[in-house]
């Protein structure tokens, strides 16, 4: 009995340690950057390390997206279940394929998947995305941001630029996705 309690406590400790090490996501605008640390929205300071990956969102036309491309699409979920894209990002390689709630919200989703088809219909532009175990049809309004991810540089980390980053428990950025000024 004491042995099973010790095992349970050890497993709980391991689970808490892993949770404490989970990356934290930060979104906002850069308000300052001194070459080593950036400040997001005037309140969150994030350090850049030697292994920090920087990617830039290069705007492209939706017509440049073709079947076989791998996308990350952030969508709003309408009451009828229809997904409407907010952001469409073409990735150079597959990253975390699947369909899931975005940031724990029921009204937003993230779909990382391969383009099976693109369609221009009377109801608008539509993408069909497939991933192991499923597929999603997503309407892409003219207002949606459409871009491709390309290698970024520290010189793109300027005040006013939008960032979406993950940082570790030491506040060191693991990956920074930077876009032009808002």
Supply the pLDDT for residue 22.
Answer: 74
Residues 83 and 49 in one domain: no
Residues 113 and 164 in one domain: no
Residues 97 and 24 in one domain: no
Name the DSSP letter for residue 6.
H
Global confidence as pTM: 0.74
Residues 93 and 123 in one domain: yes
Supply the pLDDT for residue 61.
Answer: 94
Q: CB of 79 within 8 A of CB of 48?
A: no
**Domain holding 169: CATH number?**
2.40.50
pLDDT confidence tier of residue 103, bands split at 50, 70 and 90: confident
* Tally of domains within the chain: 2
Express each pLDDT in 5-64 by its tens digit: 544 444 444 444 444 467 898 989 999 999 999 999 999 999 999 999 999 999 999 999
Name the DSSP letter for residue 78.
P
């Amino acid at each position: 009995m004491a042995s099973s309690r010790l095992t349970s406590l050890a497993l709980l400790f391991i689970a808490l340690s892993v949770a404490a090490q989970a990356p934290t996501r930060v979104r906002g605008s850069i308000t300052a950057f001194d070459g080593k640390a950036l400040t997001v929205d005037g309140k969150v300071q994030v350090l850049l390390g030697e292994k920090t990956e920087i990617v830039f969102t290069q705007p492209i036309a939706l017509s440049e997206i073709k079947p076989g491309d791998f996308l990350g699409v952030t969508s709003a979920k309408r009451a009828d279940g229809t997904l409407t894209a907010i952001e469409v990002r073409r990735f150079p390689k597959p990253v975390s394929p699947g369909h899931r709630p975005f940031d724990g919200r029921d009204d937003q989703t993230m779909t990382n998947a391969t383009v099976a088809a693109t369609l221009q219909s009377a109801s608008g532009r539509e993408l069909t995305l497939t991933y192991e175990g499923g597929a999603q049809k997503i309407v892409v309004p003219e207002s949606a941001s459409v871009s491709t991810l390309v290698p970024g540089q520290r010189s793109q980390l300027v005040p006013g630029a939008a960032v979406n980053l993950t940082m570790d428990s030491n506040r060191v950025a693991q990956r920074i996705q930077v876009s032009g000024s808002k």
